[in-house]
Amino acid sequence: NIQPVERGGDFWTDEDLTPYRDVVTYNNFYEFGMNKDDPYKYSQTFKVDPWSIDIGGECDKPGVYHLEDFLKPQQLEERIYRLRCVERWSMVIPWVGFSLADLIRRVEPNSKAKYVAFETLVDPEQMPAQRSRFSIVDWPYREGLRMDEAMNPLTFLAVGLYGNYLPPQNGAPIRLVVPWKYGFKSVKSIVKIRFTEQEPPTTWNMMQPSEYGFYANVNPNVHHPRWRQDMETRLPRTLFSVSRQDTLMFNGYGDQVAHLYEGMDLARYY
């Protein structure tokens, strides 16, 4: 159990929480399989201790850091964020963790650092889908943010949810949470961080550039070819209740992040 401090204000919502059971059994973590309950079923023996993160690129303090290096001096916070998946479902989750900006400041990126790139663990022994001959993903799973997005106070590194350390299927031991972007930006089980001058390649964009952009901001006006994006299903749902609600621009976090995209054509940079 963790004793985090609550962060109110911009980092809080009064909406009904998605129950713990649903948060830990309905996951997209494709390293463990395609079905929503695969991550829960196939990740329970996943080893997260010891865990280290290789940090490098355009920064003054590169190196292999142990997870404890970041956790020990850090007062962990609890934040309640909406999570919006590009597949049109959403949840409300109480995360525990700390600002990505805190970690970034400690490793002192230099003036060439325009982007941050993240990678998920590659371990076919532990991750069945990485062994599959039919997988079309070029592992490791890669994601990235622009530097100003990464430094935004909303951008979060979660190590827990519901007051406990993260279960493997939710991205243990440390994952990104970027609440105004579609869920796939929030890379799980992070082992590598790089500061780069160029926009880094990202997994879904590499697989299907017409469907997934680098920015992936939640946007009800720009539809994904397979899913309309002006509405979402709040989970959990039952069959006989209307579960749809309107999707908000930047997932409702416009006040905090809209300025990052001033003057950008978001239909082009989706």
Partner 1 sequence: MGLDGVSTWRRNPQLWLWLRRLVWVLACVPFVLQVQGIVTNTLGADPAKELALDTGRWTLRFLLMSLAITPLREIFSLGSLAPLRRTLGLFALFYASLHFLVYILFLLELRWYEIGTDILERPYITVGFVAFLILLAMGITSPKRMVRRLGKRWKPLHRMVYLAAVLSILHLVWILRTDVFDAVFYGTLLALLLAYRGFNSVRKRTNRPIRN
Q: Which is nearer to partner 1, 36 or 114 (CB)?
A: 36
Distance (Å, rounded) from C-alpha 193 to C-alpha 116?
A: 7
Sole binder of partner 1 in the list 3, 5, 242, 263 (CB under 8 A):
242
Q: Using CB under 8 A, which of 41, 47, 226, 259 touches partner 1?
A: 226
Q: Check binding of 136 to partner 1 (CB under 8 A).
A: yes
Counting residues that bind partner 1 (by CB under 8 A) gives 28
Question: Within a 10 A sphere around the Cβ of 256, how many other Cβ atoms?
Answer: 17
Residue 229 found at the interface with partner 1 (CB under 8 A): no
Residue 62 amino acid letter: P
Cα of first residue to Cα of last residue in the chain, in angstroms, is 38
Q: Is 18 in the site for partner 1 (CB under 8 A)?
A: yes
What residues form DSSP beta bridges with 55? Answer: 63, 193
Cβ neighbours around 175 below 10 Å, total:
23
Alpha-carbon span 101 to 156, nearest angstrom? 8
CA distances from 55 to 16, 47, 61, 140, 150 (A): 37, 20, 8, 16, 15
Work out how close the CB of 14 gets to partner 1 at its nearest, in angstroms, rounded to a whole number. Answer: 21
Binding to partner 1 in span 111-130, by CB under 8 A: 129
Contact pattern for partner 1 over residues 95 through 114, marking x by CB under 8 A: --------------------
Contact 258, 215 (CB under 8 A): no
CB of 34 to partner 1, least distance (A): 5
> For residues 149-178, which are near partner 1 according to CB under 8 A?
none
Contacts with partner 1, residue ranges (CB under 8 A): 18, 22, 25-26, 30, 33-34, 36-37, 89, 129, 132, 134-137, 225-226, 228, 233, 235-239, 242-244
